Structure 1
Amino acid sequence: MHTSIVIADDHPLMLRGLTDFLTSKGYNILGSAEDGKSAYNLIVKHKPKIAILDIRMPFKTGLEIAEEVQKNKLPTKVILITFDKEEDLYDQALEYGVYGYILKEFAIEEIENCISHVENNKPYFSEEIAHYLKHNSNKRPKELQLLTKSELKIVKLISENKTSQEIAEDLSISPRTVDKHRSNIVSKLGLDNKPTSLSIWANLNKPFL
């Protein structure tokens, strides 16, 4: 059974393009919307596994929808598509537990890869975005200075989407030790305790690790 998806974009062409493309790949598209309010209603009604949302839409932005989904503990995972490369938008996306963030110009090329990451509970951010952030802010996040060498190693492996088990094997330590490190890292970085927060943070800061 292919993943259930709701798509929203206020550009009819983009919306149709993505909908047709994903339908042709066998995904189960439950509905599509051209504004944020309709999109959110579709998510509440159908509880799709994934919602692919444009960041900027009338009535509600993709970010506002992500915030509502998080607040109301809906099971849907949000992927944002955008032309924006502003840093504060990623910070917000991060805060609202967004799973995927892809640039519109690469949406068709990247969307399947992004969806398969998200289906496996792994965040996916456009390479372009990581690349852009790297060029845009050459300063390392200051929180990294708080981490010990072992913690930095672990964060780097997390940014490669490795599981605690794999990290334990790589570093020849027990999974329990990895988990202990993970919770220390989470509190040092001031992240919340959602299992994905650290993974998303590590992915976004990959260039600095």
Structure 2
Amino acid sequence: MNTSIVIADDHPLMLRGLTDFLTSKGFNIVGSANDGNSAYNLIVKHKPEIAILDIRMPNRTGLEIAEACKKNKLPTKVILITFDKEEELYDKAKAFDVYGYIFKEFAIEEIETCIAHVVNGNPYFSEEIASYLNPSDGSQRPEILDTLTKSELKIAKLISENKTSQEIADELSISVRTVDKHRSNMVNKLGLDNKPTALYLWTNTNKIFL
């Protein structure tokens, strides 16, 4: 449980609330900052497992920090918290390999679940973000779904529900290795890239067809 975390937010109440909450849950908060430069320096210095960053901060935004972490191959996994509902920001977050993306109004409720996913190498994006960006608009069922087997479709549905490989394995009474093999097959069939977030985002976008 003793996951090392850096937290950065330019709103003192949010910063304190998250820091106090996660400390009380046994997480190891190795540093907190109220601007982007300080946050990035803390990440470089401590190389925490996770950085929880506000998207909009003075000096450097959470997205700019995520971009710098990716460019400099830092091991820290970035979780962004935001009030913004702009698709462009979400797309940038995906491009910079951000592992978690949650709305501030749900941050305290969702942050533990988000961290649990991210620590296991599984991305976590707020349901609210997914439903906001992918409203059910009566669009056509993608034909490429026909290339997936029944087992793959079952697993795709569970992935879209934010379940980890371990949770899927337990639910379907199969091994984690089998789940990972199915995931890999789906990535190939769907022509997705190998980013950890790619399959989750694809299943979430097509959730209504699974």
User: What is the TM-score with the length of structure 1 in the denominator?
Assistant: 0.80
Unaligned runs of 5+ in 2: none
- 2:144 maps to a residue whose letter is L
Contact map agreement 1:81 1:103 (CA 8 A) in 2: yes
TM-superposed CA distance for 1:208, in Å, is: 5.1
TM-superposed CA distance for 1:81, in Å, is: 0.4
Partner in structure 2 of residue 186 of structure 1: 187
Partner in structure 1 of residue 64 of structure 2: 64
Contact map agreement 1:7 1:52 (CA 8 A) in 2: yes
TM-superposed CA distance for 1:77, in Å, is: 0.9
- Supply the RMSD in Å over aligned alpha carbons: 3.2
Q: Distance in 2 between matches of 1:10 and 1:51?
A: 14
Matched, 1:102 2:79: no
Percent of counterpart pairs with the same letter?
A: 70
Contact map agreement 1:186 1:192 (CA 8 A) in 2: yes
Partner in structure 1 of residue 133 of structure 2: 133
Unaligned runs of 5+ in 1: none
Alignment partner of 2:30: what SS?
Answer: strand
- 2:96 maps to a residue whose letter is Y
Partner in structure 1 of residue 165 of structure 2: 163
Q: Distance in 2 between matches of 1:203 and 1:75?
A: 26
User: What is the TM-score with the length of structure 2 in the denominator?
Assistant: 0.80
Partner in structure 1 of residue 37 of structure 2: 37
- 1:127 maps to a residue whose letter is E
Q: Distance in 1 between matches of 2:61 and 2:140?
A: 27
Partner in structure 2 of residue 12 of structure 1: 12
Matched, 1:47 2:34: no
Partner in structure 2 of residue 121 of structure 1: 121
Runs of 4 or more, structure 1, over 6 Å off, are none
Contact map agreement 2:101 2:125 (CA 8 A) in 1: yes
Q: Distance in 2 between matches of 1:74 and 1:24?
A: 27
Partner in structure 2 of residue 76 of structure 1: 76
Q: Distance in 2 between matches of 1:49 and 1:192?
A: 24
TM-superposed CA distance for 1:155, in Å, is: 2.8
Contact map agreement 1:50 1:76 (CA 8 A) in 2: yes
Q: Deviations over 1:4-51 (max 9, x none)?
A: 000011112211111122112221111111111111111111000110
Cα distance change on mapping 1:191 and 1:35 into 2, 3 Å: farther
Alignment partner of 1:29: what SS?
Answer: strand
Q: Deviations over 1:47-105 (max 9, x none)?
A: 00110000111222111111221222211111110001122222221222211111101
Q: Distance in 2 between matches of 1:177 and 1:25?
A: 30
Cα distance change on mapping 1:26 and 1:182 into 2, 3 Å: closer
Q: Deviations over 1:110-159 (max 9, x none)?
A: 11121112122222222222232233x626599x4434242555432332
